[in-house]
């Protein structure tokens, strides 16, 4: 019997549970990837993110015949169904809101065509749906670690029929891509094997050095399975294991609290009257806030399509608590630029930074001046991304309110704005 297998965020041929299910249960597999026009347009998918996906698919295409279509998902699948005449359709179980919506449409189409539909849980280390709902990370982690399942799938060779469907080379001219600068799917395995996990706890908050694994795109697009990474890192760094758990915590929250897609999870923080001053928003988006650590972060994001995690928290806190701008605006900005953009992770990370979401604490503050002096003490990171400040004294770069720089004047006074933020957040 013939089955369609849809690659989505599992762009690998090893340790792919959904693909293994397809191969072991059906005699012929039709592997498909769809460049969905709706997704590309709605997410404003950046050309480097698209380049990353194309390169990952090229790796797969070197080993198997992979059919690729550029259309909306339902139209593309109708074409595939009518040509391939499959008995079944298999995909990995969706973990995000838009993924669930897409899969619902697919399952309905399968029913219309009389095709068996299967969604197999993959791309997580633990069955996050089975963990009792919690909005706090620590109790989640204690449960999660006991649910971990790192059994690896073994996928036999499989047969792909010759069909009158396009391959990647046929549609690649329709895709706007550009050369990747710091990320490539081909580097994922080496990065996992050669990263120094023993110093991760010590170096992970220093943006000027290569102290983080940069595996997030590899995980986001499933170039490596999270089980493979977990197995390799186990006993090397508990902090790194916790970072893997944070990702699954956000999926857990999304699944059990679906309203959090557009609404603050913390009911006490719903209805905040964000100021959304367009002048301040523009200064943030164009890296002209006058706070060097914040502007350096925005430049790194827009140039490299990736941002160091500590700096992600600094800029998110600055936008929401200092500029008093709705976290949704920041979430959309990251959505447009991050090569490792993940709907659930990004949404809940922004809510966390804005103190309106899960894992609540009284009122998290990331003072950009203290964060700058603490985590970039020699201003290496700042001067890397703002070279016009290379001649400035480092002490002055850490505190643009105290020292006058030959640079953009700070758009607001941090201390005055934090006092206002406490009022806006109804903390007084």
Distance in angstroms (rounded) separating the CA atoms of residues 321 and 85 = 55
Distance in angstroms (rounded) separating the CA atoms of residues 298 and 311 = 9
Distance in angstroms (rounded) separating the CA atoms of residues 386 and 404 = 16
Output the six-digit token pair for 84.
Answer: 């391939």
The C-alpha torsion from 127 through 109 and 41 to 342, rounded to 10°, is: 0
Q: What is the model's pLDDT at position 44?
A: 67
Side-chain half-sphere exposure of 179, counting CA atoms within 13 A: 1
Distance in angstroms (rounded) separating the CA atoms of residues 371 and 354 = 17
Region 74-80: what's the mean pLDDT?
A: 98
Mean pLDDT of the chain, nearest integer: 94
Name residues whose C-beta falls within 8 Å of residue 323's C-beta, 6 or more positions apart in sequence: 275, 277, 280, 281, 284, 289, 411, 412, 417
pLDDT at 68 over 80: yes
pLDDT band at 358 (very low <50, low <70, confident <90, very high): very high
pLDDT at 215 over 60: yes
Distance in angstroms (rounded) separating the CA atoms of residues 293 and 322 = 14
| CA 420 to the chain's CA centroid | 31
Q: Which of 60-74, 289-303, 351-365 has the lowest mean pLDDT?
A: 351-365
Region 305-334: what's the mean pLDDT?
A: 97
Alpha-carbon separation of residue 4 from 21, 33, 89, 204 (angstroms)? 12, 10, 5, 41
**pLDDT tens per residue across span 251-283:** 999 999 999 999 999 998 998 999 999 999 999
In terms of pLDDT, which residue wins out, 374 or 40?
A: 374
pLDDT band at 183 (very low <50, low <70, confident <90, very high): confident
Region 161-169: what's the mean pLDDT?
A: 97
Q: For residues 258 and 344, is the Cβ–Cβ distance under 8 A?
A: no
Three-state SS string over the chain comes to CEEEEECCCCCCCCCCHHHHHHHHHCCEEEEEEEEEHHHHHHCCCCHHHHHHHHHHHHHHHCCCCCEEEEECHHHHHHHHHHHHCCCEEEEECCCCHHHHHHHHHHHHHHHHHCCEEEEECCCCCCCHHHCCCCCCHHHHHHHHHHHCCCCCCCCCCCECCCCCCCEHHHHHHHCCCCCCCCCCHHHHHHHHHHCCHHHHHHHCCCCCCCCCCCCHHHHHCCCCCHHHHHHHHCCCCHHHHHHHHHHHHHHHHHHHCHHHHCCCCCHHHCCCCCCCCHHHHHHHHCCCCCCHHHHHHHHHHHHHCCCCHHHHHHHHHHHHHHCCCCHHHHHHHHHHHCCCCCHHHHHHHHHHHCCCCCCCCCCCCCCHHHHHHHHCCCCHHHHHHCHHHCCCCHHHHHCCCCCCCCCCCCCCCHHHHHHHHHHHCCCC
Determine the angle formed by the axes of helices 73-84 and 97-113, rounding to 10 degrees. 30
Output the six-digit token pair for 291.
Answer: 């706070």
Beta strand 2-6 with 28-36 is parallel
Region 81-87: what's the mean pLDDT?
A: 98
Distance in angstroms (rounded) separating the CA atoms of residues 147 and 97 = 23
Distance in angstroms (rounded) separating the CA atoms of residues 330 and 315 = 9
**pLDDT tens per residue across span 85-140:** 999 999 999 999 999 999 999 999 999 999 999 999 999 999 998 999 999 999 99
What is the Rg, in whole angstroms, of the alpha carbon atoms belonging to the chain?
A: 23
Smallest CA-to-CA distance from 401 within 391, 414, 388, 389 is with 414
Distance in angstroms (rounded) separating the CA atoms of residues 204 and 297 = 16
Q: What is the model's pLDDT at position 340?
A: 94
Percent of the chain with pLDDT over 70: 99
pLDDT band at 43 (very low <50, low <70, confident <90, very high): low
Alpha-carbon separation of residue 53 from 183, 249, 339, 340 (angstroms)? 11, 25, 10, 11
Region 331-339: what's the mean pLDDT?
A: 95
pLDDT at 362 over 80: no
Q: What is the pTM of this model?
A: 0.95
Region 195-206: what's the mean pLDDT?
A: 95
């Amino acid at each position: 019997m013939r089955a369609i297998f849809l690659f989505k965020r599992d762009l690998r041929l090893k340790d792919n549970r959904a693909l293994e299910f397809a191969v072991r249960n059906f005699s012929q597999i039709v592997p498909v990837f769809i460049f969905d026009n709706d997704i590309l347009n709605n997410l404003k998918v950046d050309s480097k993110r698209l380049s990353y996906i194309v390169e990952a698919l090229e790796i797969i295409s070197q080993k198997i015949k992979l059919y690729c279509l550029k259309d909306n998902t339902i139209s593309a699948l109708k074409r595939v169904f009518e040509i391939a005449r499959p008995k079944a359709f298999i995909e990995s179980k969706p973990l995000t809101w838009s993924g669930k919506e897409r899969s619902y449409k697919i399952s309905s189409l399968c029913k219309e065509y009389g095709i068996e539909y299967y969604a197999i849980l993959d791309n997580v280390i633990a069955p996050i749906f089975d963990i009792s709902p919690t909005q706090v990370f620590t109790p989640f982690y204690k449960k999660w670690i006991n649910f971990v399942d790192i059994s690896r799938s073994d996928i036999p060779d499989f047969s792909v029929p010759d069909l009158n469907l396009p391959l990647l080379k046929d549609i690649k001219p329709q895709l706007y891509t550009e050369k990747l600068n710091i990320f490539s799917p081909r580097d994922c395995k080496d990065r996992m094997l050669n990263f120094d996990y023993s110093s991760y706890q010590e170096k992970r908050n220093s943006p000027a050095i290569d102290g983080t694994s940069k595996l997030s795109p590899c995980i986001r697009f499933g170039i490596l399975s999270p089980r493979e990474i977990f197995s390799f890192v186990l006993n090397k760094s508990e902090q790194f294991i916790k970072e893997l758990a944070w990702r699954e915590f956000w999926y857990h929250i999304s699944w059990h609290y679906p309203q959090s897609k557009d609404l603050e999870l913390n009911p006490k923080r719903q209805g905040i009257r964000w100021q959304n001053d367009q002048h301040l928003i523009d200064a943030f988006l164009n890296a002209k806030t006058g706070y060097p650590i914040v502007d350096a972060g925005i430049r790194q994001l827009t140039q490299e399509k990736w941002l160091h995690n500590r700096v992600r928290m600094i800029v998110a806190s600055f936008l929401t608590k200092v500029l008093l701008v709705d976290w949704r605006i920041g979430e959309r900005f990251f959505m447009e630029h991050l090569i490792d953009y993940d709907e659930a992770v990004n949404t809940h990370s922004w809510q966390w930074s804005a103190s309106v979401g899960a894992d609540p604490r009284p009122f998290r503050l990331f003072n950009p001046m203290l964060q700058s002096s603490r985590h970039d003490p020699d201003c290496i990171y700042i001067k890397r991304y703002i070279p016009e400040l290379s001649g400035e004294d480092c002490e002055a770069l850490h505190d643009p309110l105290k020292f006058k720089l030959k640079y953009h004047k700070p758009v607001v006074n941090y201390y005055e704005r934090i006092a206002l933020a406490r009022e806006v957040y109804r903390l007084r």
